[in-house]
A = this chain, B = another copy of it.
Amino acid sequence: MNPHMRPGVWGVLATPFIGSTHDVDDNGLAQLVEHADAAGVTGLTVLGVFGEAARLSWAERRQVLETVLDTTELPLVVGCTSLATAPVVDEAAMAVELVGDRLAGVMVQANSADRAVLDTHLRAVHEATGADVVVQDYPVVSGVAVSAAVLGDVVSASPHVTAVKAESPPTPVAVAELTARCDVPVFGGLGGINLLDELAVGAAGAMTGFSFPEALVACVRAWDPAEPEQARAELLDHLPLITFEQQAGIALAIRKECLRRRGLIAESAVRPPARSLPASLAPVLAAHLERLGVR
């Protein structure tokens, strides 16, 4: 297994934009990195779905990676957007080139419900680039519904797969089956909405971008299967915001506005066709943050 791939919280970085042309905001990005680092994350996941990688140019993807690399010493997981081998290899090769030995893995979408197709895909990406692979199972984005049984078997037979990000609801069921079938760490995602349940069935932590990573870190650090009460207490006060943030279709818009109100980024724009924050939710969001000490 990749030496960087340790349990805990892997922060999924948003990509902040600035100005009417929605340029990548290097300063904001660096502040997000520093905040996550200070919050105690194990590593960072860059160019993921909520990093809006699918809405960045090729040059902007390099820019994002370089800014992150310049800002932190944390290990990185680098997301790949495509579903087919050849373009994923393009994406993974850039990650290998830029991140070098700080690369914990390239994150590749589970692209097929077929065991052989999925196995061949993951192996091909590894063989072409040398990168270890984190498999992301995220059907709402990939459109692919692979069973946890098939995914677990493929992973357990693939020494180059170093972790799984399980985002196919009901995720606690998937995490339970994956951890029973393979030895690599399995992380929950989806903003942490079922983090306590995922930990209870064996998750190694969370790989997600909730706007208060420190709460996820506190929860995961406190996790003790024999004494779940402490982890629960660490998360509880943030749970209303987690359920607010994790709304279908607008989760990223909410998250970025939370980050902006926390002073971490200058603007909260998402790139179209992603949906902006509905105006009706602005006061609700403000009240959530005020309750957590952000004014």
**Residue pair A197, B236 in contact (C-beta under 8 Å):** no
Which residues on the B side are within 8 Å of A194 (C-beta)? 243-244, 247
**Is residue A38 contacting chain B, with contact meaning CB distance below 8 A?**
no
Which residues on the B side are within 8 Å of A1 (C-beta)? none
Our pick among B55, B89, B143, B171 for the contact of A85 (Cβ within 8 Å) is B55
Interface size class of A (residues with CB under 8 A): 35 or more
Specify the main secondary structure of chain A where it touches its partner. helix
Would A57 and B83 be within 8 Å (CB), given that A121-B272, A243-B239 are in contact?
no
**Is residue A283 contacting chain B, with contact meaning CB distance below 8 A?**
yes
Tell me the nearest residue of chain B to A128, going by C-beta. Answer: B57
**Residue pair A196, B85 in contact (C-beta under 8 Å):** no
Would A273 and B201 be within 8 Å (CB), given that A60-B86, A196-B240, A291-B232 are in contact?
no
Our pick among B56, B197, B278 for the contact of A284 (Cβ within 8 Å) is B197
Would A86 and B55 be within 8 Å (CB), given that A197-B284, A284-B200 are in contact?
yes
Tell me the nearest residue of chain B to A143, going by C-beta. Answer: B143
| Minimum C-beta distance from A92 to chain B (A) | 11
Query: A residues bordering B, Cβ < 8 Å?
Result: 52, 54-58, 60, 82-87, 89-90, 111-112, 114, 117, 120-121, 143-144, 169-173, 176-177, 180, 193-194, 196-197, 200-201, 228-229, 232, 235-237, 239-240, 243-244, 247-250, 271-273, 278, 280-281, 283-284, 287, 291
- Which 4 pairs, one residue from A and one from B, show the smallest C-beta to C-beta distance? A176-B280, A55-B84, A170-B247, A57-B86
